[in-house]
Structure 1
């Protein structure tokens, strides 16, 4: 094998963002098949290796001497197979391209700790909300479009933070906007009313003391397919940023540093500054607790997620003025 060959190597993909993990796997398979088109490709869940089939997979076959083996959900690897997988990953034979995928968490951490210093690692961590516009802009470039920060944020507001949904929306845009620039108006035209009524606009009205408008937008958002969990996520994200901003505003720090410590993009500081006039740390704490309860309800603990979200909007409004709800 040549020095740059992916055969005789192991790639460890770690992280809970499925889209990024799948992309890392696909890229390694693409490299392997470009190098050896006749390589046999096998993909298996780690839990399915309890029967000892891993040894057969890594050995190739009579028809293909080289093997690409992808083991998903490494955390579920049976204890009896850990030693063999570890030894193989640390010293793969020259005709094996091994890819191990771990979704994060503590299960299987001992194996990860043994592999990480000695094999190639590709991270697939979730993208933070404030970094989503950068992800969108980069994806747009890969689809032969250009999108400024405002347009990228408008798309996030329109379809939510799920990466698959964002990529799907960008592909829709690319069908009409290839080799063009897409701005806020372009996003709004393409996605119609959905870009106007989103989880973030519901959160904005609720936090700003406009419960009537928030409830109206909430009902419309749910009617047009916005997932209830996106509403609790939007409220939680803004409340966390507001709480940190309230703690930091008395410190004489540059805006960029305040934004970094608060975990928000710099442009959001002006909005937090306006909100801070009517919010206290105690009120933010109370609202965050209400969001946590509602989040559990919309994920299955309540029979009517819509009603739970309506109660949440009223609870947030009460917390804003320090009033009892």
Structure 2
């Protein structure tokens, strides 16, 4: 069977680099399979006329695939050359353009869309909901299953960087069998700094004072900085407040409106019944004070976190 032809125009739109890279890799694999010569052009180093020169017919014939990255950083010369090529397409030449967002290069974007370019959207993966959806898609595309708790554990452990999240997902898919749950994730990633911070915060918000202090001391002994622990504590208290004031609705509905993952909504709902408005106010003030002290405002950052944990666990359930 002959390889499928590469679309003459491909627009990769959005700022998420890992998705952009995947779209480019997939498109170029198709181009090479079809026998096309791949020519890459970078917006930052572009010289006027280079695009049209590469698009011109070769003495040896054959098709070409021109790749222009970062149109959102393109010079006027590159934009003009792209518009000229789009106005008079060269035979046997496909054009792949990436654009990370913003108004720069909009005329080229609009022209490509008007001409029917195949568009691949690469939206930013920022919120925990976005990251949870990303993990679910990674497992789904590999025809593997991961539980909601497994997703939560993975996002908490390595969710700061999307590329690391993708790598961790690939590792779990390759190295395990059956359904991946939080226990499996913990075997591979339980020692991560982020995971340790979340364990401290989970125990604190649950009112488990002794366990929270034990986990904190273990975290400090293994080199975890107090700053991210306080940051996670603050984030979890904010989620409690957001969910507590959001009213009724399904977890999925609230997650969409609050920019959270459904498992975060469920987790907050399980906790919020143990908190009063006054208790949450005390907890938020304690975290704010700890945040100031661990960032240079106090003499002993570890003691500042311990004091915050004691205050927060006592505030839970206070009426």
TM-score range normalised by the length of the shorter chain? 0.7 to 0.9
CA–CA distance in 1 between the matches of 2:79 and 2:123? 24
Could you list the runs of 5+ residues in structure 1 that have no partner in the other structure?
Answer: none
Compute the displacement of 1:101 (Å). 0.9
Structure 1 moving runs of 4+ over 6 Å:
209-216, 222-233, 307-321
1:120 aligns with 2:89: no
Closer/same/farther in 2, CA of residues 113 and 195 from structure 1, 3 Å limit: same
SS of the equivalent of 2:139 reads helix
Residue of structure 2 equivalent to 1:25: 24
Which residue matches 1:95? 92
After superposition, what is the alpha-carbon deviation per residue over 1:235-257, rounded to whole angstroms, capped at 9, x for unaligned?
676455444334423xx545543
Distance in 1 between the 2:265 and 2:143 partners? 32
Map 1:52-91 → 2, pairs under 5 A? 52-59=49-56, 61-63=58-60, 65-89=62-86
SS of the aligned residue for 1:126 comes to: coil
Counterpart of 1:139 in structure 2 is: 138
Root-mean-square deviation over aligned CA pairs? 4.5
CA contact (8 A) 1:10 1:89 kept: no
> What residue is the counterpart of 2:267 in the other structure?
271
Number of aligned residues = 305
Q: Which runs of 5+ in 2 are unaligned?
A: none
Q: 1: distance between equivalents of 2:194 and 2:154?
A: 11
Q: Find 2:38's aligned residue among 25, 36, 41.
A: 41
Q: Deviations over 1:57-90 (max 9, x none)?
A: 2235434531111111111211123122134246
Residue 101 to residue 187, structure 1, CA distance change in 2 (3 Å): same
The yes-or-no answer on 1:130 pairing with 2:129 is yes
> Which of these two proteins has the greater Rg computed from alpha carbons?
2
Contact 1:154–1:195 (CA under 8 A) maintained in structure 2? no
Looking at structure 1, the residues matched to 148 and 39 of structure 2 have their Cα atoms a distance apart, in angstroms, of: 41
What is the CA–CA distance in structure 2 between the aligned matches of 1:60 and 1:280, rounded to whole Å? 74
Which residue, out of 188, 206, 210, partners 1:190? 188
Equivalent position SS for 2:195: coil
- Asked if 1 retains the 8 angstrom alpha-carbon contact of 2:48 and 2:78, the reply is no
Measure how far apart 1:41 and its partner are: 0.8
Distance in 2 between residues matched to 1:281 and 1:86, nearest whole Å: 61
For 1:113-135, what per-residue CA distance to the aligned partner results, in whole angstroms no more than 9, with x for missing partners?
44344422211112341243332
Q: List aligned pairs for 1:1-325, cutoff 5 A.
A: 5-7=5-7, 9-35=8-34, 37=35, 39-59=36-56, 61-63=58-60, 65-89=62-86, 92-118=89-115, 119-127=117-125, 128-143=127-142, 145-178=144-177, 180-194=178-192, 197-204=195-202, 238=236, 241-249=239-247, 252-273=248-269, 274-275=271-272, 277-279=275-277, 283=281
CA contact (8 A) 1:89 1:98 kept: no
